[in-house]
Amino acid sequence: MRIAVMDIGTQTFRAAAVRIDGGRVERLFSCRHNVRLGEELHRSGTIGAEAMERAALALEQIAGMCAEAGVERFRAVGTAVLRASSNADEFLALAAERLPGEVEVIGPEEEAELAVAGAVATLPELKDEPFLLVDAGGGSTELLYSRPGLRPRLIDSMPVGAVTLYRRHVHSDPPAQDEWRAMQHEVTSCLATASVVQTTRTWVAVGGTACLLASLRQGLLSYDPRRIRGFRLTGEDLALTAELLLSHNLEQRRRLPGMEPERADIAVAGLAIYVTLRRYFGIRDFLVSDGGLLMGLVATQLEKELHGYAEPPNTAGLYL
């Protein structure tokens, strides 16, 4: 059985395909496209024409990879950008013409639950302990509480993400101190309504921003999920990264070791979310997982296909 999944985010489209052979899982392909689907969302409430063009190209490329891999099952989900944009139907029609299946727009609760499934799939030790999960995306940030044996509980879905926060507040290059403070202030205002129960010291971070921050702190010359998975982001890491990003202009940031060039602008806004979370809740560190929503989609699809097998598939060694 060959399965493909796709995560359509505000900033990035990610897709992956795996082959199931008995209880063994093999990666066929994985890819990411920095489409920036939600770049106009803060201003017009819509997906812009240029973003639609970039999306069409990415969709066609992913559809081609699925065809080449002989995919038999396909699931694609859309998140904050498709929940918020007034012309989401236009994008969904565009996607339906190109992909091997329709795009399902999921709510914050399912998005967060899939992120938890992805984190547990990559860090199996989380199955046996309670933890709080942060999924800071391009258009929203979800906070979720997970305990062994119980369904994960969504604590809050905040309308702030790396893309939307950056577009609203940053107009200087490098970002000015007042812009840096304004981003943190907006996140703090959103957190005022979040009822986080402090019953655990384990905070898990998933998503593009978390992986980027782990990559920057290690100065990775190319993305290596083996170095990202299980990395701990401390307060010192965040402070040093803030000093680095706020002292370099956009072109300089693009050349930093560990930087994903297409995220060099919004990286500072994603960082502001984690800096604010750590200060607000007194967090010791964030345990980074490269799994997140995409791995959660893979894990849940595998669970459906392999239901009844004595041994569950080993996703701890699967890197997307």
How does pLDDT run across 12-63, given as a tens digit for each residue?
999 999 998 877 889 999 999 999 999 998 889 999 999 999 999 999 999 9
Q: For residues 153 and 144, is the Cβ–Cβ distance under 8 A?
A: yes
157-176: average pLDDT: 94
Which residues contact residue 12 at a Cβ distance below 8 angstroms, ignoring those fewer than 6 apart?
32, 33, 34, 35, 138, 208
| pLDDT class of 150 with cuts at 50, 70, 90 | confident
End-to-end C-alpha distance for the chain, whole angstroms: 18
Cα dihedral value 117, 133, 294, 306, nearest 10: 0
- What is the C-alpha to C-alpha distance for residues 156 and 150, in angstroms, rounded to an integer? 18
Same topology, domains 2-106+294-305 and 109-289? Answer is yes
For the entire predicted model, the pTM comes to: 0.90
Collapse the DSSP code of 63 into the 3-class scheme (helix H, G, I; strand E, B; otherwise coil) and give the result: helix
| pLDDT class of 7 with cuts at 50, 70, 90 | very high
Q: For residues 83 and 14, is the Cβ–Cβ distance under 8 A?
A: no
Q: For residues 129 and 155, is the Cβ–Cβ distance under 8 A?
A: no
Collapse the DSSP code of 263 into the 3-class scheme (helix H, G, I; strand E, B; otherwise coil) and give the result: helix
229-236: average pLDDT: 97
Report strand pairing: 73-78 vs 203-206. unpaired
Pick the CATH number of 109-289 from 3.40.190.10, 3.30.365.10, 3.40.50.300, 3.30.420.150: 3.30.420.150
Cross-strand partners of 31? 15
In this predicted structure, what is the pLDDT of residue 307?
62
117-142: average pLDDT: 92
125-130: average pLDDT: 90
239-260: average pLDDT: 97
- What is the C-alpha to C-alpha distance for residues 15 and 277, in angstroms, rounded to an integer? 29
| pLDDT class of 106 with cuts at 50, 70, 90 | very high
- What is the C-alpha to C-alpha distance for residues 4 and 176, in angstroms, rounded to an integer? 42
In this predicted structure, what is the pLDDT of residue 22?
72
- What is the C-alpha to C-alpha distance for residues 34 and 12, in angstroms, rounded to an integer? 4
* Cβ-based neighbour number of residue 22 at 10 Å: 9
83-112: average pLDDT: 95
Q: Does residue 166 carry a pLDDT above 50?
A: yes
Least confident of 67-71, 109-113, 270-274: 109-113
Look up the CATH architecture of domain 2-106+294-305: 2-Layer Sandwich (3.30)
Domain spans, the chain: 2-106+294-305, 109-289
Instruction: List Cα–Cα distances, 72 to 2, 5, 66, in angstroms.
Output: 5, 11, 9
* Residue for token pair 């998933």: 206
| pLDDT class of 310 with cuts at 50, 70, 90 | very low
